[in-house]
Amino acid sequence: MDATSTPVTDRSSIATDDHALPQPATVALGLGAALVLEACGGGSDGSGLVPPTSSSSSSSSSSAASSSSSSAGLSKPQSARFLAQSAIGYSEADINSVTQLGINTWLNVQFAMPRPQKFWDFLIANGHDAPANVNTNNGFDAMIWSQLMSSADILRQRVGLAVLNQWVVSIDGFASSWRAFVMAAYLDILWDNALGNYRDLMEGVSTSVAMGYYLTFLGNVKANPTTGAIPDENYARELMQLFTIGLYRLNMDGTQVLVNGSPVPTYTQDDVSLCARIWTGYGITGTDNTTPSRMQLPMSITAATHETGATTFLASDPAYFPGISIPANASGTTARTLTLDGLFNHPTLPPFVCKQLIQNLVTSNPSPAYVRRVATVFANNGSGVRGDMKAVVRAILTDTEARDDSQVASTTFGKLREPVIRLVQWARAFGVTSPSNSWSFGNLSSSSTALAESPGHAPSVFNWFRPGYTPPGTTIATSGLVAPEFQITNEPSMVGYVNYMQQRIISGAGDALPDYTKLIAIAADSAALLAQLNLVLAANQISPQTLALMKTALDTIAATTSTGINNRVYAAVLLVMASPEYLVLR
């Protein structure tokens, strides 16, 4: 069979003898284990982040700041590196598009792109509003994988996932009817506002049924002096701690404000108790539960159970922040507006939000100067608008620190690609489609048999990993760095990842199958095959030394039959996606 032959029809049929995969799979596990050992302090670079073993890969051969790489004239590796930071996943066609358009024009196209389909509409279109689904999660995982893997708005999908990493809600964390629709409505709020204004995002989340259920203020009532009952404080606390201003006051560059050498808390327990009064009286709008329609509506407020006494909080230091004051007898809507407006204008919110967005998209350890530049744009987009997410995203992705190609050789810049991003990148790179719209990937939360991460299934409001997480006892910790995604990374989870990806690479998921036509055409030349994968998956950041190891493994798989060619392709994709130089995004 020649190198242009088509792939075998049954992807689960893997031949034995000289066409089997054991040696490449073993190499893949070894490469993945190297990443884990580095995180555990076994490396020599002092950072715990895995650097390239050589600086000769083509994307590290030149230094390019935003002035050059934000315009036309990009190389393909530069375009791929940009897409790895900005897109939920991408194909070679997307690399060509960025190369031709330049970064700023590509961003404009993405910003102007309407959502091809909303999460809610996917569920409706596929019949998941049938009465039999009232108490199930049916359709949820297919819905979210469909969007992440096939929707054309690849920038919005990436930023939406980053926002979900902060404003966490999990379908597994509340007891509700029509759970898939409750989550669909919530995700539509995040995705609709991911490139809108942050204040609108705050409003939508704070009135969503999903958040009402998840942080337990749905049904919250005002204090009862007779019984001693007080309002539920869950949302009040997390709204401040996780979603807006964090635990400590920050300078605009993301560093902590210090007084006498100690950090200054942004709020106290008394502030939480007073803020909790704002979130009383909330309930689901409407009573008809025969369809999921009411789960899409903002929650309503019952005046009789809403606290109407005067409330002032976050006012301990008026010179820093004037506090939030709610007058007596204010309506629930007015109280919410004043509260969210106050938090939105808090001086700590811009660096708190922007640093986490940078961590999700570009690097776990942005410099204070990088954080300051982006937070300044959040505070004022240049036209007097605060919270303009398009301006913020553009600032993050075109910043000199993000676009400097010399960062590829840095031991402190970059981030571990979270597992969901890796899977979606594979799907996007190789044109995965699901003709039946079943997208049968399911819940991938298992760390032993899947990814240890699955969108919309976070184990708690603290997400899969914390933005300030540092692996204890590692060179990352001794260097004073953080590595959030390492919170779900260890030897068993890496083995689980490699095993899971080997299954998907070979067999897809149900009728969600990849198209390896281009790879099959060049598979007889293992060097050409690896060069293509290095570009599309890793922005040419895999070193010649690592490529040589991979080539040696691939050359043990004969490319003289259709089965051998397919197995060589499968092994090559797996080897690249298990390599440390792919797993660490720079």
Q: Specify the pTM.
A: 0.90
Instruction: Establish if 483 belongs to a structural domain.
Output: yes
Residues 433 and 286 in one domain: no
Residues 227 and 328 in one domain: yes
Residues 445 and 379 in one domain: no
Contacts of 255 (CB under 8 A, 6+ apart): 368
pLDDT the model gives residue 40: 38
Residues 356 and 497 in one domain: no
User: Which helix (H) or strand (E) is 567 found in, with range?
Assistant: helix 562-578
- Which tens digits make up the pLDDT trace of 479-510? 999 999 999 999 999 999 999 999 999 999 99
pLDDT the model gives residue 245: 98
Query: Which residue, chain included where needed, has tokens 């990806």?
Result: 501
- Which tens digits make up the pLDDT trace of 331-365? 999 999 999 999 999 999 999 999 999 999 999 99
Residue 408 CB-half CA count within 13 A = 31
Residues 265 and 367 in one domain: no
Instruction: Establish if 108 belongs to a structural domain.
Output: no
User: Which helix (H) or strand (E) is 412 found in, with range?
Assistant: none
Phi and psi of 509, rounded to 5°?
-140, 105
Instruction: Establish if 356 belongs to a structural domain.
Output: yes
Considering only CA atoms, which of 448, 542, 430, 425 is closest in space to residue 494?
448
- Which tens digits make up the pLDDT trace of 144-190? 999 999 999 999 999 999 999 999 999 999 999 999 999 999 999 99
What's the Cα-to-Cα distance from 359 to each of 144, 254, 353, 380, 404, rounded to whole Å? 22, 12, 10, 21, 16
Residues 429 and 375 in one domain: no
Domain ranges, residue 377: 350-402
332 and 281 in contact (C-beta within 8 Å)? yes
Residues 428 and 556 in one domain: yes
Instruction: Establish if 408 belongs to a structural domain.
Output: no
Residues 506 and 382 in one domain: no
Q: Is the pLDDT of residue 193 over 90?
A: yes
Residues 343 and 240 in one domain: yes
pLDDT band, residue 71 (cuts 50/70/90):
low
Q: What residue type is 137 in one-letter code? A: N
Average of per-residue pLDDT values in the chain: 90
Residues 323 and 358 in one domain: no
Which residues are bridge partners to 224 per DSSP? 229
Q: Which of 319, 347, 375 is the last residue of a domain?
A: 347
Residues 169 and 49 in one domain: no
Q: Tell me how many domains the chain contains.
A: 4
If one counts every other C-beta atom within 10 angstroms of the C-beta of residue 448, the result is: 11
Instruction: Establish if 65 belongs to a structural domain.
Output: no
Residues 194 and 219 in one domain: no
Instruction: Establish if 243 belongs to a structural domain.
Output: yes
Query: Which residue, chain included where needed, has tokens 């506002």?
Result: 193
What's the Cα-to-Cα distance from 195 to each of 88, 159, 163, 205, 362, rounded to whole Å? 14, 8, 10, 15, 17
Please tell me the distance from the alpha carbon of residue 334 to that of residue 465, in angstroms, as a whole number.
Answer: 35
Instruction: Establish if 412 belongs to a structural domain.
Output: no
Instruction: Establish if 4 belongs to a structural domain.
Output: no
Q: Is the pLDDT of residue 39 over 60?
A: no
